[in-house]
Amino acid sequence: MKTIYLDNAATTRVDERVLKEMEPYFIEKYGNASSQHLKGQEAKRALDEARHVIAKAINAKDDEIIFTSSGTESNNLALKGLFFANPNKKHIITTKIEHDCVLNACKWLETQGVKVTYLDADKEGFVNSDKLKKAITPETLVVSIIHGNNEIGTIQDIKEIGKICREKGVYFHTDACQSFTKTEINVKKQNLDLVTLNAHKIHGPKGVGALYIRNGIKITPLLHGGGHEKGLRSSTENIPGIIGFAKAVKLAEEKHIKQMARLRDELINGILQIPNSNLNGPKENRLCNNINVRFNNVEGEAIGGYLDAYGICSSTGSACSSHTLEPSHVLLALGLTPLEANSSLRLSLSRGNTEEEINKVLEVLPKIIEKLRKISPFKI
């Protein structure tokens, strides 16, 4: 049975061209980029070239890119590192629909005396600019708002948010792991101070991320060691992973966005033909690869289990939280009931998905929903 992989918001398949680009840095060009001999300098040149590729993709300067191990590490470095460097500013603003790593970092910072304001989102997941303005105080250090939401696909207007933060004199950090290469990120045009990126959502390897830090911003490192990455992230750089990250960025094209958006719309329109189904998140300003739908009174976990039996990989929310049976905090923040949140399913595309696969999903999913509704203890 052929696998139909529709969990690309969790992770993507490494592109074969990315893997090929990485291979020499495991077995031939394996030097440490901090070493002074030829092998080390060979690795250093490759590191510098990769940094340039990623910086150029977001209109940043090369020395504003710091490599990390993941989006989670980048988010923690941004928020905790800013606070440690600016301990007199004890107020952070974020939202109720952030990735768990941002919310949990903020909860930890609250134990250190930081006051955190968690902004509401509307029923489609958008943050209200006026409410953001009112929340900013003289004590505010940073506003951290996710760019493209990992569960419901909402793309925030980071240009407007960045403008507000710049006018108010506070830093603006955005988690762009899901949106990078799928929609515009321009750190100058959008007034961005810190941006979190990673590789494995864009057909690059796991275990490598990056943090854009605008020149002049003070960050205290979380890791102390040999002074790698401008002293902000000590640890021997993951050269093969970084090389793969840069190659994945190079391979991203506008045509892929259009293809995913077309298949996304076909899948959404087809699924919404199923009675009593509803789209979670917006129709417009939505990530090109994100579909999140609820089928009232049918458990999302059960739907996913049946889909898996057909070889279709799906998700009920963030993969980082899939070990818990708690309703999605993102969906609850939209105003959904716990029952509605637990009846939701996320399908997320990549450039590798095909029309044939979409048709297969639309063939089997209505049958699964019909079967589950017959045995559901809840009335529709």
The CATH code for residues 16-251 is: 3.40.640.10
What are the structure tokens assigned to 351, written together? Answer: 């450039």
- Condensed to tens digits (0 to 9), the pLDDT of residues 242-282 reads 999 999 999 999 999 999 999 999 999 999 999 999 999 99
Provide the mean pLDDT of the chain: 96
The answer to whether the beta carbons of residues 160 and 145 sit under 8 Å apart is no
- pLDDT over 70 (residue 110): yes
Closest CA to 68 of 97, 94, 101: 101
Strands in 344-348's sheet, in edge-to-edge order, are 277-279, 290-295, 344-348
Say which residue the tokens 């107020």 belong to: 91
Q: How far apart are CA 215 and CA 227, in angstroms?
A: 18
Residues with Cβ < 8 Å from 35, sequence gap 6 or more? 41, 43
- pLDDT over 60 (residue 321): no
CATH topology of domain 4-12+253-375: Aspartate Aminotransferase, domain 1 (3.90.1150)
- Condensed to tens digits (0 to 9), the pLDDT of residues 208-218 reads 999 999 999 99
- pLDDT over 60 (residue 9): yes
The H or E element containing residue 226 is none
b/e sequence 51-71, b meaning 16+ C-beta within 10 Å: bebbbebbebeeebbbbbbbb
pLDDT the model gives residue 376 = 74
320 belongs to the catalytic site: yes
Q: How far apart are CA 219 and CA 79, in angstroms?
A: 9
The reply to whether the predicted model has a pTM over 0.85 is yes
Average pLDDT over residues 65-89: 97
- pLDDT over 90 (residue 380): no
Active-site residue (options: 101, 288, 313, 320): 320
- Condensed to tens digits (0 to 9), the pLDDT of residues 303-313 reads 999 999 999 99
pLDDT the model gives residue 201 = 98
The answer to whether the beta carbons of residues 201 and 177 sit under 8 Å apart is yes
Residues with Cβ < 8 Å from 20, sequence gap 6 or more? none
- Condensed to tens digits (0 to 9), the pLDDT of residues 145-198 reads 999 999 999 999 999 999 999 999 999 999 999 999 999 999 999 999 999 999
Annotated domain spans of the chain? 4-12+253-375, 16-251
Q: How far apart are CA 60 and CA 62, in angstroms?
A: 6
The H or E element containing residue 278 is strand 277-279
